[in-house]
Structure 1
């Protein structure tokens, strides 16, 4: 006979069981998101101490932002990083290092190993929440648990989200926030309490997005404002509630952008080339992504070279659901028209953002059909920072994807809905290509330990300087004469507790970068070396150091390590975290 469980343990188990039963739909869909992540990247990507797979694409930039932030004292703006691109500095936001996560982990940095990354776990969480959020919206629309699983799984298999992961844009993978806000706009509000709850969730999502990525925020905020407009039109609450909600949403985003250093730290936010990183008019049916096609059945359609930023392929399953939903829309047009107060605000915002995604150069299969440069000219200063305008197709993308799936749930014959949703999911699963080179494979080792010679030379010094520097941003601004494999030297500087003068950031203040690079040239040619600095020179510039009296240079891999022999009298080695 088994002994009885302790009463306290039994109550805990009962509580857990009750929670699982009550939230079976979102939890099951979250599980689908987890399985999708494991299929794409594999379980090794969840290991926070494994860094070698992050060498490719932009991953290394984001990782280095977090690593150097760990060596920094907290200062204003939050997330400021003085040691990377030193002495220019940058911020977590401009390193696309997901400021909220880095700030949350910062107090525990001394307890974490030196090799620690959150990129893999973050992307996994995004897929998990993508499924859970979609299923939660379906539940609020009256879906059964199996229907919630189907809707969640269908949205997990969104090629536009999976493509962002393959492009190493993990901060831009928080699509679940867009899905949830689109859903909040579609869910009926039965009373004032539900309307207030929706406004509160929208505000929380604006706060969340502001500390993740400006582009995500630029989609979440308009969707939150659409919800405020819908609340005002439906008159579930006095008009001051949605008005106050709109003002607070905008105010909170602006304040957080300032506090996190997006505003006021870089003079020029514009990136140039607006109109090139756009969406094509056939983006929803074109499976061609950054490097490969995301469909096993449909062929790639022509597009301009940089229009991978406007990738928005829906997938055969969602296209089928959309076709079925359009039939329902035509048949039940009078019923839909009576719900215009609920549907119009989110529809107009999604269409407006979709129009912006087309940019000033509207194309059809890559061919220019309309030039709206004159329309955008008066506001170019404000729109140019979002030069990758094609991304703004996502709200319309998810309005179509989620809206069509929810429309199938509302069929007059409820027994048909699971079959159609299951068919849509099967089509999506067979069509979407999950496994062509997206796995977290090992790349060339870049996170290697410093050599003994480098460690000895770093004792008592504070700075590691590549000469010439390799400083640039996404628009090509900066000084780009230095070694392209600067990541390995940045990683070693991090381990040694040194600042590093090179790097890649999202936005760079070129008015400060150019004088620094030219000044460094002048100092070295004039023989003005800093005794607290360890220099790494390319071979072509070694003669400049050898001409300086008191300088010792030794080869370090493909570079030359040079130091002024008159090192500080009282060396102090900076401890690794």
Structure 2
């Protein structure tokens, strides 16, 4: 009891910052997300990512242990081996919860509690860092309250709030703050830690990064390099400089091996490009070329930086003395910011919305770098470092009362700048309907299928995890202990998955229920299966299914492509119509077509001023333009036919505008004619 009281007394201000973070979380998300048996809110998210994170854990939980790969998952893409690492299911938590599986409820999620933990850690570590930089002593109550207010800037950091329950593992911004704390607080303490203790701390950080999300490995690794630069400047010896890096890398690599990162099928695919950050975007919102490249650090961060600079100018002598005493740390911090800038920009340097130049780099380096292809995320490190440093300097160079007011203003500004996102989350997570079961699989026959014992595997005819019915079917399989042959994985070789799934249809198994989603129905007569339809979904089985009415053999109707999923250049698109202007181009969604003969009909207007063709080809490989035979040519309708003796992967139809005559496309339908 005495030790607990002493701990609470010593860390009371950091715990207050953690409490602030927890309160913000509860205000935004409420308490229902904390219920470990409540999962519908995860599956109801309009983004498929939360479903991937949760269902990846469910499949992993029901997959057997296969040493030495504790993180191996044999149920998500059966019968192949994947890893819990690639479903972004927070691997460390998944492994621990799987070990405790016998005492956990059958339906269990840890994402809600993880979210609360992330916000609390963000607030507690931010307070500790701000107080340290601000030179605040534990007994200085006013300044400590000011540091808690400053922690609000980090609790409302955009990357944390936007990624939470979207890319949930990526919401672990506190890992960066923890690395900064080890460097700026623990390593700078009066009792300077030994090299052995440094190795232990950074080894633990390597363990956490590899076990939570891989993108934190380079971010935390760069903080470690900065800490080593400082030790080198202080001439603390080669061991103090090199061994912590060795510890960090060795622990991370060992954990990745145990998690099965290097032994997973379909993993290791690189998309071959870098989505870099526009560094001006740290202070100017909206400059990110995409949602993934938006790295805005928030209005409150910008305000804190401006106020910190003003304080430094007003108290120039005091500032000069401060930086003189901390020269080595300042130099290391500059090195850190430069490293982060290079890593996060990619090889195409963009600033203020303009591309300045592109640096040609060897393919070997590109292949390695592209493992972190969304490298703009790495700029979160710079944003958080600037936020905590600026808030700390405001605390140090403004008097106590003024600093408290200014940091409160910064926190309020941070929330104001993020008000649209915060309001959206509050509205969503406080809506009772968000916690209701909204699965499309409502026919009682689904439960009969599960209880019959006839099936233990679900197999999709093709690889299409973006379809509306996909996640409902996968959730059904996971909930009932079945395996699935298709799942979405991070860093996944989609080409290999597409080819593999198509090949599996050559050998049909009686314990497998086959799902033909949308365009896959075009191939139904190619396979000797008994067909059934539940909730509009075509299902196939090698053996008859007792109690279900078999769907009679019929001519396969044409299937219509979803125009809103098309890629459109110089034009507009909605659910019903695509309009192309001069220089316009339409490229339809990608379909998988099995061998056979097909007819494609395009309806609209202006086709006599267009160029139309079909193409197919695996991602980032050669695209093949197809030989097609036009059987109908008119301004309002174009019809072409083609045949294929092999599966066509990522098949698309393209329409190009040849002049300034508008082209309108209202329907594109595909039918199998042989």
The normalised TM-score by structure 1 is 0.82
Over 3 Å counting, the alpha-carbon distance change for 1:270 and 1:536 in structure 2 is closer
Q: Is the CA contact 1:310–1:357 (under 8 Å) kept in the aligned structure 2?
A: no
Give the conservation status (yes or no) of the 8 Å contact 2:270–2:367.
no
Q: State how far apart, in whole Å, the 1-side matches of 2:23 and 2:441 are.
A: 34
| 1:429–1:196 Cα change, 3 Å | farther
**SS of the residue 1:535 aligns to:** strand
- Post-superposition Cα deviations, 1:411-455, rounded to whole Å, max 9, x if no partner, equal 274554333323323333444315332233545845577855334
Partner of 2:478: 494
Cα deviation, 1:20-46, whole Å, max 9, x if unaligned, reads 333221111111111211222222211
> C-alpha displacement at 1:376, in angstroms?
6.0
Mark the runs of 5 or more structure 2 residues left unpaired by the alignment.
546-674
Specify the alignment match of 2:537 in structure 1: 559
Alpha-carbon distance between aligned partners in 1 of 2:361 and 2:241, rounded to the nearest angstrom: 31
Q: C-alpha distance in 1, partners of 2:192/2:517?
A: 67
Secondary structure, aligned partner of 2:356: strand
After superposition, give the CA deviation of every residue in 1:209-234 in whole Å (9 maximum; x if it has no partner).
11001101221122123223322322
Show the 5 A alignment for 1:132-143: 132-141=124-133, 142-143=135-136
Q: CA deviation at 1:397?
A: 0.9
* Equivalent residue number for residue 356 of structure 1: 343
Structure 1 or 2: more strand by fraction = 2
CA contact (8 A) 1:85 1:502 kept: yes
Return the offset for 1:344.
2.0
Check 1:109–1:267 CA distance in 2 against 1; reply closer, same or farther (3 A cut).
closer
Instruction: Using the TM superposition, give the Cα deviation of residue 540 of structure 1 relative to its aligned residue in structure 2, in angstroms.
Output: 6.1
Q: List per-residue Cα deviations over 1:180-218 (Å, max 9, x = no partner).
A: 222333343434337765554333222111100110122
Post-superposition Cα deviations, 1:525-555, rounded to whole Å, max 9, x if no partner, equal xxx5311212223476568666766x43322
In structure 1, the partner of 2:248 is 249
Checking the alignment, whether the CA contact within 8 Å between 2:122 and 2:177 is kept in structure 1 is yes
TM-score computed with the length of structure 2 as normaliser: 0.71
Q: How does 1:16-31 map to 2 (within 5 A)?
A: 16-31=4-19
CA contact (8 A) 2:443 2:535 kept: no
Take 1:385 and 1:518, find their aligned partners in 2: how far apart are those partners?
27
Secondary structure in 2 aligned to 1:470?
coil
- 1:80 counterpart residue number: 72
- Work out which of the residue numbers 105, 113, 128 in structure 2 matches 1:121: 113
Tell me whether 1:287 sits opposite 2:273 in the alignment.
no
* Residue of structure 1 equivalent to 2:163: 164
2:623 maps to what in 1? Answer: none
Which residue of structure 2 lines up, in the alignment, with residue 533 of structure 1? 512
C-alpha contact (below 8 Å) 1:310/1:393 kept by paired residues: no
Question: Equivalences for 1:71-470 in 2 at 5 Å?
Answer: 71-75=62-66, 76-141=68-133, 142-143=135-136, 144=140, 145-165=144-164, 168-187=166-185, 188-193=188-193, 200-235=200-235, 237-266=236-265, 269-272=268-271, 274-275=273-274, 277-288=275-286, 302-304=287-289, 306=290, 308-329=291-312, 331=316, 332-333=319-320, 335-372=322-359, 374-375=360-361, 377=363, 379-411=365-397, 413-414=399-400, 416-433=402-419, 435-438=422-425, 439-440=428-429, 442-443=433-434, 445-446=437-438, 452-458=444-450, 459-470=452-463
* Maintained 8 Å contact 1:464/1:536: no
Alpha-carbon offset, residue 256 of structure 1: 1.6
Q: Count residues with an aligned counterpart.
A: 522
Structure 2 CA distance, aligned partners of 1:382 and 1:87?
29
Higher percent of residues as helix: 1
Q: Is the 8 A contact 2:301 2:414 kept in 1?
A: yes
Q: Provide the C-alpha distance between the structure 2 equivalents of 1:404 and 1:196, rounded to a whole number of angstroms.
A: 32
Instruction: Give the C-alpha shift of residue 134 in structure 1.
Output: 1.3
CA contact (8 A) 1:530 1:564 kept: yes
What is the alpha-carbon root mean square deviation over aligned residues? 2.9
- 1:432 and 1:560 map into 2 onto residues whose CA distance is 44
Deviation at 1:173, TM superposition (A): 0.9
Within 1, Cα distance between the matches of 2:103 and 2:509?
34
- Structure 1 gap segments, 5+ residues each: 1-11, 289-301, 473-479, 568-577
Instruction: Select between 431-440 and 241-250 the one with higher mean Cα deviation.
Output: 431-440
Pair 153,197 (structure 1): closer, same or farther in 2 beyond 3 Å? farther
Whichever of the two has the greater Rg, that structure is 2
